[in-house]
């Protein structure tokens, strides 16, 4: 069982960093253009560097064979959230909000916040395993987001070629798959960070330089992602047009109902003889308990839906998660 007070303190520190970004945006230290540029740097360079460096260090063929189904678990978390939103969409406050409502309940903040939390809550081999689980969940969730998620927001119509290319060209997915292949096919890359001028040739030393550069770039990814979450929240326009019931119901569905259902399924699977490791169980419950993903608002704006509704759900669920996540994680 995870200590609720430890989780509460860690989330409090994370929210404080997010609030720093929010304050900076309101003070005018960031504008819309600078926010987009820095966010692109984090998403397209810093975070893929973190992912690639982690994959090169930790992945081996045995691990891939043992965890091949983890992306399916990530998919299942999102689809279960969508189901919760679908069966409760009567609370959406109008037919025009139903698709947005169920999308918001489904789209947990599956990557940045869990990655920061597991870095704070775990250490050593447990931390490495937890990060690996999140990265594999990311594979499955990104596929659902860019296919089923876009299809649903567009009114259950067709998926464009541009949307599918968004999956193929995603830097995080490229880093994940590329890192897994390199580490599995070339065993030497798993220990390249340990080579020295005294025990390696020029090629391995050049590889060490690259790996060290990835580590430096990756080290700024998580703190900068938290700051930019706050910056982007500070730039959201939340018009007073969304019914309170719709926002409250979407937040409860995301923060309470979905993680409890996920926990129930975990318990059932354990009873049927299909248990997850303690670390995988913790990460699964953590991802399921996260607030509405920040990029949900961006997807609603781009592919159709109620932007003001999405903005409110993102903001309120993020701050209410300070209370709900520690309580949910007591089950882990």
CATH number, residue 223: 1.20.1530
Q: Domain count of the chain?
A: 1
pLDDT for the residue 88: 94
Q: How far apart, in whole angstroms, are the C-alpha atoms of residue 281 and residue 265?
A: 11
Cα 36 to Cα 77, 187, 232: the distances in Å are: 29, 38, 9
Give the three-class secondary structure for 306: coil
Assess contact for 136 and 111: CB atoms under 8 A: no
Nearest Cα neighbor of 142 from 78, 91, 66, 65 is 78
Distance set, CA 3 to CA 119, 284, 289, 325, 327 (Å): 16, 17, 15, 11, 9
**Is residue 261 within 8 Å of 255, Cβ to Cβ?**
no
Least confident piece of the model among 80-89, 182-191, 192-201, 207-216: 192-201
Range of the structural domain that residue 154 is part of: 4-329
Q: Which residues have a Cβ under 8 Å from the Cβ of 26 and sit 6 or more positions away?
A: 234
What's the average model confidence in pLDDT over 173-189?
85
- Residue pair 306/300 in contact (Cβ under 8 Å)? The answer is yes
Q: What is the pLDDT of residue 241?
A: 67
What local confidence, expressed as pLDDT, does residue 309 receive? Answer: 87
CB 193 within 8 A of CB 31: no
The answer to whether 104 and 295 are in contact (CB under 8 A) is: no
DSSP 147: I
- The residue-averaged pLDDT of 51-61 equals 83
| pLDDT at residue 240, as a whole number | 57
**Cα separation, 183 vs 194, whole angstroms:** 15
Compute the average pLDDT of residues 293-300: 81
**What is the pLDDT at residue 177?**
86
Average pLDDT over residues 217-233: 86
By CB neighbour count within 10 A (0-12 exposed, 13-18 middle, 19+ buried), where does 64 fall?
Answer: middle
Q: What are phi and psi of 113, to 5 degrees?
A: -65, -45
Cα(185)–Cα(173) distance, rounded to whole angstroms? Answer: 18
For residues 151 and 300, the answer to whether their CB atoms sit within 8 Å is: no
| 299-310 exposure pattern, b = at least 16 Cβ within 10 A, e = fewer | bbeebbbbbbbb
CA–CA separation, 99 and 92 (whole Å): 9
- CB contact set of 161 (below 8 Å; sequence gap of 6+): none
pLDDT at 158: 61
Q: How many residues does the chain have?
A: 332
Closest CA to 190 of 174, 206, 207: 207
Mean pLDDT for all residues in the chain: 86
Task: Provide the phi-psi class of 276: left if phi over 0, else alpha when psi is between -120 and 50, else beta.
Answer: beta
* Cα distance between residue 165 and residue 148, in whole Å: 14
Half-sphere exposure of 149 (CA within 13 A, CB side): 30
**What percent of the chain is modeled with pLDDT above 70?**
94
The pLDDT of residue 169 is 78
Token digits for 171? Answer: 């830097």
- pLDDT > 60? residue 310: yes
């Amino acid at each position: 069982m995870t200590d609720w007070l430890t989780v509460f303190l860690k989330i409090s520190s994370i929210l404080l960093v997010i609030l720093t970004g929010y304050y900076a945006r309101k003070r005018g230290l960031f504008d819309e253009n600078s926010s987009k540029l820095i966010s692109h740097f984090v998403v397209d360079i810093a975070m893929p560097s973190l992912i690639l460096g982690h994959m090169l260090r930790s992945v081996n063929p045995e691990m891939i064979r043992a965890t091949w189904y983890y992306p399916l678990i990530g998919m299942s978390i999102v689809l279960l959230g969508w189901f919760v939103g679908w069966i409760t969409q009567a609370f959406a406050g109008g037919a025009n909000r139903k698709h947005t409502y169920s999308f918001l309940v489904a789209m947990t903040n599956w990557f940045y916040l869990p990655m920061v939390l597991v870095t704070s809550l775990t250490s050593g081999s447990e931390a490495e395993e937890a990060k690996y689980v999140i990265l594999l969940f990311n594979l499955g969730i990104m596929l659902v987001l860019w296919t089923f998620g876009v299809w649903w927001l567009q009114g259950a119509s067709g998926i464009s070629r541009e949307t599918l290319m968004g999956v193929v060209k995603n830097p995080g997915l490229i880093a994940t798959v590329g890192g897994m292949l390199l580490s599995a096919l070339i065993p030497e890359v798993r220990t390249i960070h340990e080579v020295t001028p005294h025990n390696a040739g020029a090629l391995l030393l050049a590889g060490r330089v690259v790996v060290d550069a990835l580590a430096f770039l990756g080290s700024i990814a998580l703190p900068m992602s938290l700051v930019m979450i706050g910056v982007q929240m500070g730039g959201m326009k939340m018009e007073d047009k969304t019914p309170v019931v719709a926002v409250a119901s979407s937040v409860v569905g995301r923060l309470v109902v979905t993680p409890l259902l996920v926990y129930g399924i975990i318990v059932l699977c354990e009873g049927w003889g299909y248990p997850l490791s303690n670390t995988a169980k913790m990460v699964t419950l953590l991802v399921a308990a996260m607030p509405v993903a920040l990029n949900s608002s961006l997807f609603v704006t781009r592919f159709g839906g109620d932007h003001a509704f999405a903005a409110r759900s993102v903001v309120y669920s993020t701050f209410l998660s300070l209370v709900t996540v520690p309580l949910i994680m007591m089950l882990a």
